[in-house]
């Protein structure tokens, strides 16, 4: 279905079946639906040929289309990679923000960090909370700076849930670094925003 949607060609499914049946660098994996996988070198060859034949604008348009199709199909990692390759920064930031809670729930910190790190710095700053969340265990001092930025962003938009989440993350980072004496301002923020968030029944609030 993805090949059909991406190519717009009714012949795409039959072509994939033919390639797999002939063992032409294509594997068919059973499942609902069947999945076809190109050999890595064959995929690279096709990608290079595509890049030589298409303008930069055409490449980005097709990458953007692929990214959207993959995201809709639940192929989040591949979809985000294509959005980033297409330099669709605003859409990539939004997609990462929407997908981040699932990455967190699945414990996929490295994957989430990789997607955020692939963004230009100015756009990655918009994901300060999640970038900080990824660093809580490995670099709590850096996480604290990101949580402070996330709290400022939440204050600017009057987003109590965002401020609460950032305060919780900052408190975690401070405890990890042994800076317990610096907790008071963050505890005040937690206290100030907890009631408002609970009253709104915001089940999506993290941490």
- Condensed to tens digits (0 to 9), the pLDDT of residues 99-123 reads 999 999 999 999 999 999 999 999 9
Residues listed for the chain = 207
Share of the chain above pLDDT 90, in %: 71
**Cα 137 to Cα 85, 140, 144, 182, distances in angstroms:** 29, 6, 11, 19
Q: Does residue 186 or residue 73 have the better pLDDT?
A: 73
Q: What angle do CA 22, 59, 77 make, to 5 degrees?
A: 70
**Tokens read off for 28:** 């068919």
- The pLDDT confidence band at residue 204, using thresholds 50, 70 and 90, is low
Region 13-36: what's the mean pLDDT? Answer: 91
Asked whether the predicted pLDDT for residue 202 surpasses 80, the reply is no
Region 10-29: what's the mean pLDDT? Answer: 94
Residue 33: what pLDDT?
80
Q: What angle do CA 22, 23, 28 make, to 5 degrees?
A: 105
Q: Which contacts of 30-35 are long-range, i.e. CB under 8 A and separated by 24 or more positions?
A: 33/1
Neighbours of 52 (CB within 10 A): 7
Asked whether the predicted pLDDT for residue 10 surpasses 70, the reply is yes
Region 164-179: what's the mean pLDDT? Answer: 89
> Residue 120: what are its φ and ψ, rounded to 5°?
-60, 150
| Closest to 71 measured CA to CA, from 57, 89, 91 | 91
- Average pLDDT of every residue of the chain: 90
């Amino acid at each position: 279905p993805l090949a059909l949607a991406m190519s717009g060609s009714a012949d795409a499914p039959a072509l994939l079946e033919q390639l797999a049946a002939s063992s032409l660098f294509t594997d068919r994996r059973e499942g609902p639906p069947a999945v076809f996988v190109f050999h890595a070198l064959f995929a690279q060859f096709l990608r290079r040929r595509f890049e030589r034949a298409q303008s930069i604008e055409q490449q980005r348009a097709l990458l953007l289309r692929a990214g959207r199709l993959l995201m809709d199909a639940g192929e989040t990692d591949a979809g985000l990679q294509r959005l980033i390759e297409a330099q669709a920064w605003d859409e990539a930031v939004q997609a990462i923000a929407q997908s981040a809670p699932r990455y967190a729930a699945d414990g996929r910190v490295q994957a989430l960090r990789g997607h955020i790190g692939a963004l230009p710095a100015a756009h990655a700053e918009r994901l300060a909370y999640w970038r900080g969340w990824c660093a809580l265990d490995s670099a709590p001092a850096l996480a604290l700076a990101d949580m402070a930025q996330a709290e400022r962003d939440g204050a600017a938009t009057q987003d109590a849930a965002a401020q609460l989440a950032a305060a919780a993350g900052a408190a975690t980072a401070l405890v990890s670094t042994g800076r317990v004496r610096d907790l008071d301002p963050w505890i005040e923020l937690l206290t100030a925003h907890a009631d408002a968030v609970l009253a709104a029944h915001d089940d999506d609030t993290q941490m």
